[in-house]
């Protein structure tokens, strides 16, 4: 009876060796970072020139219709080296199929202020998780320095139901920082489950009313919106998102319409 057990253990060790990655703690699936949303809504290619260390969300932007949400472009790398010469694990050379990202939440700043706000129950957001289903494939690594890569849009990491509660905060949302703790899950072509590291992405919340990149003078060809139309928003894929990416150049001021007038971004 021991021989079958020994054989099973041996085959399991072969499988683990075949899936050996190039990173510590056997995390061969790695979330690398978050890239900005493009002006056209197209996904950037992997390894973009610009990364976001944090995001920002104007929960009072009328473009959301009272139900703001937040989406991210996330790069995920696969460090499992494709080895198509292994008889027992030939399928592993085909890469990883991603099927979901699990998001949990943590208040990084303003938690105590939130308890005395108009919506103290939002503190309980820390007790919830959200499964975001996706379909994406990452090819295998050719070596430890050349992983397989994919850039995927993870939609509504802050969904509209949560966004509606955040919008109800009004100016109580100012300077709250919500951390998104994200982990990707997938399956190798050979049928083995795999999960990524946990990636923390902070989002600064604010209630500016209408996020508009508004420079006093600029060429129309720049693709920016003029300040004369308060219902315009900056040239971005989603209104009120990633405000930290909106510095005006050449000495111009970045202004925002708060419902009654133009104000400078704090």
Quick one: three-class SS letters along 60-90? CCHHHCCCCCEEEEEEEEECCECCCCCCCCH
Q: Is residue 262 part of a domain?
A: no
Q: Is residue 8 part of a domain?
A: no
Neighbours of 162 (CB within 10 A): 21
The residue-averaged pLDDT of 68-84 equals 88
pLDDT for the residue 85: 59
> In the numeric block, which tokens belong to residue 180?
């998104």
Q: Is residue 115 part of a domain?
A: yes
pLDDT for the residue 253: 43
pLDDT for the residue 129: 96
Neighbours of 254 (CB within 10 A): 17
Higher-pLDDT residue of 56 and 184 is 184
Percent of the chain scored above 90 by pLDDT?
Answer: 37
pLDDT for the residue 83: 67
Q: Is residue 11 part of a domain?
A: no
Q: Is residue 181 part of a domain?
A: yes
pLDDT for the residue 18: 44
Residue 119 clears pLDDT 90, i.e. is over it: no
Among candidate residues 108, 228, 233, the one with its CA nearest the CA of residue 180: 108
pLDDT for the residue 156: 93
pLDDT level of residue 26 (50, 70, 90 thresholds): low
Among candidate residues 175, 180, 221, 212, the one with its CA nearest the CA of residue 198: 180
Q: Is residue 68 part of a domain?
A: yes
The residue-averaged pLDDT of 185-208 equals 89
pLDDT for the residue 61: 75
pLDDT for the residue 70: 92
Spatial CB neighbours of 202, under 8 Å, sequence gap ≥ 6? 54, 55, 108, 177, 178, 179, 180
Which of the residue ranges 50-64, 87-101, 194-208, 247-261 has the most confident prediction, judged by mean pLDDT? Answer: 194-208
35-49, 117-131, 149-163, 250-264: least confidently modelled range: 250-264
The residue-averaged pLDDT of 98-104 equals 97
> Domain count of the chain?
1
Residue 227 CA: distances (Å) to CA of 186, 195, 217, 256: 46, 46, 10, 9
Which of the residue ranges 7-16, 208-217, 238-247 has the most confident prediction, judged by mean pLDDT? Answer: 238-247
Residue 15 clears pLDDT 70, i.e. is over it: no
Q: Is residue 245 part of a domain?
A: no
Residue 179 clears pLDDT 50, i.e. is over it: yes
pLDDT for the residue 245: 41
Residue 62 clears pLDDT 80, i.e. is over it: no
Per the structure, the complete domain to which residue 146 belongs is given by 19-209
0.85 surpassed by pTM: no
Residue 209 CA: distances (Å) to CA of 10, 81, 101, 257: 62, 49, 30, 6
Higher-pLDDT residue of 192 and 250 is 192
pLDDT for the residue 257: 44
pLDDT for the residue 90: 56
Q: Is residue 163 part of a domain?
A: yes
């Amino acid at each position: 009876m021991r021989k079958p057990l020994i054989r099973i253990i041996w085959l399991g060790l072969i499988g683990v060796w075949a899936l050996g990655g190039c990173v510590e703690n056997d995390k061969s699936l790695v979330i690398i970072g978050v890239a900005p949303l493009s002006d056209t809504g197209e996904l950037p290619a992997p390894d973009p020139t610009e990364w976001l260390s944090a995001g920002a969300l104007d929960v009072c932007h009328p473009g959301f219709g009272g139900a703001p949400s937040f989406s991210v472009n996330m790069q995920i790398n696969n460090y499992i080296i494709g080895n198509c010469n292994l008889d027992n694990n030939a399928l592993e050379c085909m890469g990883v199929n991603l099927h979901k990202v699990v998001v949990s939440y943590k208040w990084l700043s303003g938690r105590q202020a939130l308890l005395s706000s108009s919506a103290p129950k939002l503190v309980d957001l820390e007790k919830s998780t959200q499964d975001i289903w996706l379909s994406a494939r990452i090819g295998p690594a050719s070596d430890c320095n050349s992983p397989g890569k994919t850039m995927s849009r993870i939609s509504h990491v802050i969904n509209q139901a949560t966004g509606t509660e955040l919008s109800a905060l009004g100016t109580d949302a100012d300077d709250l920082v919500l951390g998104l703790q994200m982990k990707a899950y997938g399956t190798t072509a050979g049928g083995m489950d795999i999960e990524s590291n946990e990636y923390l992405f902070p989002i600064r919340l604010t209630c500016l009313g209408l996020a508009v990149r508004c420079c006093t003078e600029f060429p129309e060809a720049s693709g920016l919106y003029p300040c004369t139309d308060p219902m315009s928003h900056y040239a971005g894929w989603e209104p009120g998102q990633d405000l930290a990416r909106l510095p005006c150049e050449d000495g111009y001021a970045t202004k925002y319409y708060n419902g009654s007038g133009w104000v400078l971004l704090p």
